[in-house]
Structure 1
Amino acid sequence: MITSQFRVLAVVVASFATFTPAYAALGGAPTYPVTAASTSAGAASQGTAVARFAASANAASANYTVSQTTLPSGTVVSEYIGAGNTVFALSWEGPTMPPLKTLLATYFPTYVQALTDAHTAQGGGYGSAVVRQSALVVETGGHMGAFVGRAYLPQALPQGVSADDIK
């Protein structure tokens, strides 16, 4: 029987397994400049598409940019970039998990600790890996060949943007 510590270790190892460059670090600037025609330097198989969105809450309007990058594995990573060129949220979908250590950056240790604590409290089990804290939310799920997830900083969501906007 697989222990909960083994499952947590498997998630952490999967996060390290992909050594491809990522495009965002949660809470920081995008790794590469975001332009309408930007592509990854030195990685012709990776592409970036940029879309601009406006979200509104009552009379207030919040602008943010969503930059999508397809990793060589086929996984699509979307970075949500707000004021000050800061990534406030990420989402991913694809056949492999993205490199969470890179994507979560300084929040990765918090994620791993919260995940370990949650699995210990639950006594193990299978299912999605979810961390919901006041400063960090990470939701991952899926199965081999079809992974999805998102991560965001609740306090950094621009005015008029809700967690439901992060897809």
Structure 2
Amino acid sequence: MMTSQFRILAIVAASLALAAPAYAALGGAPTYPVTASSTSAGAAGQHSAAVARFAASGSSPAASYTVSQTTLSSGTVVSEYIGAGNSVFALSWQGPTMPPLKTLLATYFPSYVQALTDAHVTQGGGYGPAVVHQSGLVVETGGHMGAFVGRAYLPQALPQGVSADDIK
């Protein structure tokens, strides 16, 4: 009797694990589902959960990327900048709460935490925006209670023709 209950529990647990969404983030696949709706570059940021295709201007070949916006249950809007190979090269957020940076930064999260720890020790503590500028990772967070903003990007992964100023 006990083994049959264990088997059923094991089957249910395995089924739930298979049904759970796979999360990736910065440097990987989008964390949140990319919606099928689209908007023009001029209207970007006006629609929640919208996808916009952009082409960078200039004499270099056009850089094409997608921005997928998701509104979290907290009301915070997260934008994922998706380039070639369906890979997220940048993120931005704004809203009443911080987004789950551990999830969004994924494998870059330990580097972020270590850089903040090092900066805290070097500067002797204090409060203020959390800023990390490394050759392979940039994270900038700021704001105050109820109004947080930030962005994170991989400088080496920015498509040709895209600058850090494009990550908003």
TM-score normalised by L of structure 2: 0.78
* Runs (5+) with no aligned partner, structure 1: 1-20, 39-46
Matches within 5 A, 1:11-90: 25-37=25-37, 48-90=49-91
Show the 5 A alignment for 1:1-167.
25-37=25-37, 48-167=49-168
Q: Read off the aligned partner of 1:121 and give its amino acid letter.
A: T
Higher helix proportion, which one?
2
Tell me how far apart the structure 1 counterparts of residues 73 and 139 of structure 2 sit (CA, whole Å).
23
Cα shift at 1:23: 7.4
**Counterpart AA for 2:34:** V
- Structure with greater contact order relative to length (CA < 8 Å, sep ≥ 6): 1
Could you list the per-position Cα deviations for residues 8-43 of structure 1 after superposition, in whole angstroms to 9, with x for gaps in the alignment? xxxxxxxxxxxxx997610000134423249xxxxx
Shift of 1:103: 0.2
Structure with the larger strand share: 1
What RMSD in Å do the two structures reach over aligned CA positions?
2.0
The letter for the 2-side match of 1:162 is S
- What is the CA–CA distance in structure 2 between the aligned matches of 1:139 and 1:113, rounded to whole Å? 15
Sort the Cα spacing of 1:22 and 1:152 in 2 relative to 1 into closer, same or farther, 3 A.
farther
Unaligned runs of at least 5 residues, structure 2: 1-20, 39-47
**Cα displacement string for residues 105-150 of structure 1 (whole angstroms, at most 9, x for unaligned residues):** 0000000000000111001122100000000000000001000000
What is the distance in 2 between the residues matched to 1:33 and 1:71?
Answer: 12
Letter in 1 for 2:155: P
Shift in Å, 1:89: 0.1
